[in-house]
């Protein structure tokens, strides 16, 4: 078992860091989606390419 960690320890650490970053990005995107915000960053008044842009604001 110790030999395994000596051989693959660096790869495991890098993999965990990448996985953590991906999970944090997904959590952020879900929060934005639940808040009803659009992430396109363009002028939604003239855009019809996504469902958020075509909705009328109340």
What would the two tokens of residue 7 be?
A: 């051989």
Residues 6+ apart with CB under 8 A from 50: 38, 40
- Show the domain range for 17: 2-37+47-52
* Structure confidence at residue 11 (pLDDT): 96
Tell whether 25 is covered by a domain.
yes
Query: Considering the domain boundaries, does residue 58 fall inside one?
Result: no
| Whole-prediction pTM | 0.61
- Total domain count, the chain: 1
Dump pLDDT digits (tens) for 16-54.
Answer: 999 999 999 999 999 988 887 765 665 666 666 666 555
| Tens of pLDDT, residues 7-21 | 999 999 999 999 999
């Amino acid at each position: 078992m110790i030999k395994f960690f000596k051989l693959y320890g660096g790869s495991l650490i890098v993999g965990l860091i990448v996985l953590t970053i991906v999970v944090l990005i997904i959590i952020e995107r879900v929060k934005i989606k639940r808040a009803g915000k659009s992430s396109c960053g363009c002028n939604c008044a003239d855009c019809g390419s996504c469902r958020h842009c075509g909705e009328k604001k109340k």
